[in-house]
Amino acid sequence: MWFVTVLGPVAPTRKTEDWLEAATSLLAYRITDQVLALAGQPDDDDPGRDQWRQELTEALRHW
């Protein structure tokens, strides 16, 4: 449910590679929630993961 809510049911015909990169990164990052793709905050204090979350948030604004 959350995947379709954020990225839609299929890749767009334009910028497909950008969409695929955002989708793959989101799946790798994912914090478990039934509805929201980026629900909650990471449990650890890893600044790299915080940066990753910020980059994903920005990338997902386009979809």
In degrees, to the nearest 5, what angle opens at C-alpha 50 toward C-alphas 2 and 31? 30
What pLDDT is recorded for position 39? 66
**Which of these, 21, 25, 16, 23, lies nearest to 53 by C-alpha position?**
25
Give me the tens of pLDDT residue by residue for the chain, a chain 63 residues long: 778 888 888 898 998 999 998 888 887 766 666 666 676 666 667 777 778 878 888 888 877
What pLDDT is recorded for position 41? 67
pTM (2 decimals)? 0.52
DSSP-assigned letters across all residues of 28-47: HH----SS-TT-S--SS--H
Estimate the share of the chain in helix, then strand, then coil, as percent rounded to the nearest 5: 55, 0, 45
**By the 8 A CB rule, do 38 and 57 touch?**
yes
